[in-house]
Amino acid sequence: MLGLLVSDLHYGLKQLDWLDGVAARFDLVVIAGDSLDVSSIVALGAQIVVVSKYLRRVAGRTRLAVSSGNHDLDARDSDGERTARWLAKGRVPGVLTDGDYVEIGDVSVTVCRWWDGPRGCAEVGRQLARDAARRRGRWIWVYHAPPDASPVSWTGSKHYGDTELVRWTHEHRPDLVLTGHVHQSPFRAGGSWVDRIGDTWVFNAGREMSPYPPHVIFDTTAQTATWTSSAGSETVDLAAPLIRDAVTPS
């Protein structure tokens, strides 16, 4: 499988145009949260209309998985916790989203919601346990927040990651975890776009204001992943032995 990871587009229309233009090259396109931007002068409802049109277009070109992020929350669920109602299953036709599981050849993909409280957290935990029992071949998670205490959650001054994700990763051992949320990580000393938790590779492409978003292209057949941004490109060998310094410039 050839896949593309982006995240934190934050209603960036030029970046959405770029994504629409390249989507057909990939077997799977992943947007790991924060398609919307709560700080934009454009009303959230209007953003939802525009972004949903882009998502439908991309989903017409290839398989598309979109997780919710903290900027995507537009409603409250029955427990009073915030949720991305506009991304609920079936609301954007053809898009895999929060709670979904799919098998693409020998690759299994799980898409997780942004959880806003204990009930949402428990729901994600149940989802991962359920999918662990039916996964086949390689297993990919789409999860907006990066793991805590990791280079991919480093802001330049502190870690801003998810401790539950660390626990779940140790428990279920997916092959790839595709994240976002912390924009600065790949661009700060001590940070990175890639980390490894045991045998699990974790990616966070970061965010830049540019015509195309920072992105990771991962190839589960060739066993490589390449991050590209204005800073250049770096590649990791996904079959490499477990060592800390697995990144090599390309």
Rounded mean pLDDT for each run of 10 residues along the chain, 250 residues in total:
98 98 98 98 98 97 98 95 93 95 96 97 98 96 98 97 98 98 98 97 97 97 97 95 51
CATH class of 2-249: alpha beta
Q: Which pTM does this prediction carry?
A: 0.96
List, in order, residues 6 or more apart from 212 with CB less than 8 Å away. 14, 15, 18
SS3 9: coil
Which pair of tokens denotes residue 246?
């697995």
CB contact at 8 A, 29 and 3: yes
Exposed/middle/buried for residue 88 (C-beta within 10 Å: 0-12, 13-18, 19+): middle
β-strand partners of 12: none
Count Cβ atoms below 10 Å from residue 163 Cβ, excluding itself: 12
pLDDT at residue 206, as a whole number:
98
How far is residue 134's CA from residue 163's CA, in Å, rounded to a whole number?
Answer: 25
Place of tokens 């398989």: 63
Q: Where are the alpha helices (DSSP H) in 135-250?
A: 163-172
Instruction: Go through the chain and tell me how many residues it has.
Output: 250
pLDDT at residue 243, as a whole number:
61
